[in-house]
Amino acid sequence: MDFSAMRQDELWDADAAGRYDTPGTGMFASEVLGPTVTRLAELAGAGGGRALEFAIGTGRVAVPLAEAGVDVTGIELSGAMIDQLRAKVDEATIPVIVGDMATATAPGTYTLVYLVFNTIANLLTQAEQVACFRNAARHLGPGGRFVIELWVPDLRRLPPGAPAAVFTSEPGYIGLDTYDPVDQHVVSHHFHFDETRQARLYRTPHRYIWPAELDLMAQLAGFGLESRHADWTGAEFTAESRSHVSVYRLPER
């Protein structure tokens, strides 16, 4: 299957949306969501700050952020993911514009635009990723911030001549990535299994981005790098960090 030819709304269908939420565990664990929401609320600004989430999905971050008092709007391409969000909150609480995060427009001006959990990599070309930065800039007022949470490509783990590496192995689940270093494409393979002989495979395509390349995309859209940390708690970003939270900011004038 040529995953690059599939639309994101086809990948994130009703089945994927139904399996996405894992309340209290994984990405939904309090130790993951707590620092994320706290940091985003600080960046949005107390008293009147407005936040726009690109690829809002089922509202994993947006719902608790809205509960923390931030005015949140979302952009989302997948109707199935929006349906899952609507089971939690209504349109008046968190408005959502249906569309691609690289091109869709939400009404108004925001103090913060954010993209969490590697989602910018769902855009499979460099041009689309640059367009995403420019779209964020269009939605922000002077001094506005664009925050991206993204993994660091881990090609050092690839044995010489091997195209794939296991990134997770635990009871009932194995995850491995296959790399195309020419186009910077990676397909994540998620194998879920039990004590039977049957297994379920789910695959997602991405275009990985080096931190320095991400910074250049930001410059092309008028942003400067304000900070980069290894996680939402502010841990130092080092050569061994497997992911980063990068905050880009527009000039005040």
pLDDT at 3: 46
On average, the pLDDT of the chain sits at 91
Tens of pLDDT, residue by residue over 127-186, are 999 999 999 999 999 999 999 999 999 888 888 888 898 989 999 999 999 999 999 999
Could you give the percent of the chain with pLDDT greater than 70?
91
Task: Return the residue matching tokens 């569309």.
Answer: 99
Contact call for residues 154 and 166 (beta carbons, < 8 A): no
> pTM for this one?
0.91
pLDDT at 20: 63
- Tell me the mean pLDDT in the region 58-67: 95
Tens of pLDDT, residue by residue over 200-247, are 888 889 999 999 999 999 999 999 999 999 999 999 999 999 999 999
DSSP-derived pairing of the beta strands 96-98 and 224-229:
unpaired
Contact call for residues 248 and 226 (beta carbons, < 8 A): yes
Query: 78 — phi, psi (to 5°)?
Result: -90, 120
Could you give the percent of the chain with pLDDT greater than 90?
75
The CATH class, in words, for 3-152+210-249 is alpha beta
Residues 6+ apart with CB under 8 A from 55: 75, 76, 77, 101, 115, 119, 122
Query: 59 — phi, psi (to 5°)?
Result: 85, 25
pLDDT at 237: 98
Compute how many other C-beta atoms are within 10 angstroms of the C-beta atom of residue 240. Answer: 7
